Amino acid sequence: MPQTFNVGSRSLFVSVTAWIFIVLGAAASVSTLIQNAAMASLLPGFQVSLDASTLPMLTGLLVAHLPWVAGVGLVLSVATFAAAVGLLLRLEWARRVFIALSVLAILGNLAGLWLQQELLQSLIDSTLARTTLPREAVGVFGGFATAARAAAVAVSLLACMLLAWVIRRLNSQGVRQEFA
């Protein structure tokens, strides 16, 4: 019996991906709105107590432009939610926007690796400078710090690979036919 594909037939992959990112996009949007509201109410005191020039390079840059960073986060969260809803409705523009947002997420995740390492190193340096630990304890502390760094890198790279797989599947011929 020959196998026939209907143009526009709905695949489980697209539906599941859309629902996962609808939930994640809605949760991220709500969380970002709450963070923006909290930051707006605390920002005047926050700027007085935190000097961005004392922070490492990327961290200082992000803190110096914190309202813009938070605004970009909100826009990306809402765009992800909208693209995921469009993906569920099988709209071609939504598939393309979702792929573009996924590429941005991969790039952000890779840039976040640098930020994670910079922030963790700054935290370790400031902690070790303020406390007197025995030599053995410093070794244990260093081991935990290395494990935390390795775990952060592994999770970030795994997320990037997962997003790359989603992009690859959304660009496949069968999925593109759903959006025709």
The structure tokens listed for 108 are: 């952000």
The pLDDT of residue 48 is: 44
Return all residues near 153 (Cβ < 8 A) that are at least 6 apart. Answer: 113, 116
In tens digits, what is the pLDDT along the chain, a chain of 180 residues?
Answer: 666 555 556 889 999 999 999 999 999 999 988 887 877 777 555 554 555 566 666 667 776 777 787 788 889 999 999 999 999 999 999 999 999 999 999 999 998 888 888 777 777 777 766 777 676 666 676 777 788 888 989 999 999 999 999 999 999 988 888 887
The pLDDT of residue 45 is: 55
Domain range annotation of the chain: 12-178
d(CA 15, CA 165): 16
The pLDDT of residue 144 is: 79
Pair 63, 52: CB distance under 8 Å: yes
The pLDDT of residue 180 is: 75
Q: In angstroms, what is the C-alpha Rg of the chain?
A: 21
The pLDDT of residue 46 is: 55
pTM attached to this predicted model: 0.77
The pLDDT of residue 20 is: 96
Q: How many helices (H) and strands (E) does the chain have?
A: 6, 0
d(CA 101, CA 99): 5
Per-residue burial over 31-53, b = 16 or more CB atoms within 10 Å of its CB, e = otherwise: ebeeeeeeeeeeeeeeeeeeeee
Return all residues near 14 (Cβ < 8 A) that are at least 6 apart. Answer: 87, 88, 90, 170, 175, 178
The structure tokens listed for 86 are: 């469009």
The pLDDT of residue 56 is: 66
Residue position matching structure tokens 């990112």 = 21
Return all residues near 72 (Cβ < 8 A) that are at least 6 apart. Answer: none
